[in-house]
Amino acid sequence: MSRRLVLASASPRRLALLAQIGIVPDAVIAPEIDETPRKGEPPRALALRLARAKAAAPLPTPTPSFLLAADTIVAAGTRIIGKTADPDEARRALTLLSGRRHRVITAVILAAPDGRTAARICETTVAFARLDRAQLDSYLATNEWQGKAGAYAIQGKAAAFIRHISGSHSNVVGLPLFETAQLLRGFGWRIP
């Protein structure tokens, strides 16, 4: 059976997290999918739908390969906070998260060359400190918020805002490693 792995994500964080557990994908693709939530779609359902859409992307080579896809959603209650497009949108997102708890939900899908698939969903609760205007201005000036669900990077300067997390730290970074390793092991991978 093929042991080629394709990562359906352009996220450098996901590549780094996989490398942390000794997994280096043979190829990376960046599927173009519409990430717009459907009306009334719950955050968990959205994460799973988007990960499945990425897993259905065509492979760059006809060689049989496993395909690993994931999607991360940040939710304050039922409100979904996606990747912010500009500093004003990032400010609104961070203001919403300030002083409260939110959830980071990642759906991970592994598709085998024989058509079998398996999925895991990981949810982590993150408690943010209350942010004042100077903290917001300083953080926004770093541009670290760009391309990040929820407009922050826990592995960067925003770590200073995190009072508490309950659950997987790697999930908040972008890929829950325990759940990902479980999926790979379930399909016969040996994780170093």
Residue 191 lies inside a defined structural domain of this protein: no
Task: Give the domain CATH number at 87.
Answer: 3.90.950.10
pLDDT tens digit sequence for 130-142: 999 999 999 999 9
Q: Is 137 a catalytic residue?
A: no
C-alpha 105/C-alpha 122 separation (Å) is 6
Residue 161 lies inside a defined structural domain of this protein: yes
pLDDT tens digit sequence for 22-69: 999 998 998 889 999 999 999 999 999 999 999 987 766 666 789 999
Please check whether residue 73 is in contact with residue 149, taking contact to mean a CB–CB distance below 8 angstroms.
Answer: yes
C-alpha 190/C-alpha 192 separation (Å) is 6
C-alpha 109/C-alpha 67 separation (Å) is 8
Please check whether residue 95 is in contact with residue 136, taking contact to mean a CB–CB distance below 8 angstroms.
Answer: yes
Model confidence at 71, in pLDDT bands (50, 70, 90)?
Answer: very high
Model confidence at 183, in pLDDT bands (50, 70, 90)?
Answer: very high
Residue 192 lies inside a defined structural domain of this protein: no
The pTM of the full predicted model, rounded to 2 decimals, is 0.93
Mean pLDDT computed over 163-186? 97
Considering the chain, what percentage of its residues have pLDDT values greater than 70?
96
Model confidence at 10, in pLDDT bands (50, 70, 90)?
Answer: confident
Residue 126 lies inside a defined structural domain of this protein: yes
| pLDDT score, position 1 | 45
User: Which domain range does residue 73 map to?
Assistant: 5-186
Residue 108 lies inside a defined structural domain of this protein: yes
Residue 21 lies inside a defined structural domain of this protein: yes
Mean pLDDT computed over 122-126? 98
Active site residue: 26, 34, 71, 137, which one? 71
Helix (H, G, I), strand (E, B) or coil at 49: helix
Q: Which residue has the tokens 């991970």?
A: 108
pLDDT tens digit sequence for 102-122: 999 999 999 998 889 999 999
Residue 30 lies inside a defined structural domain of this protein: yes
* pLDDT higher than 80, residue 9: yes
Considering its fold, how many domains does the chain have in total? 1
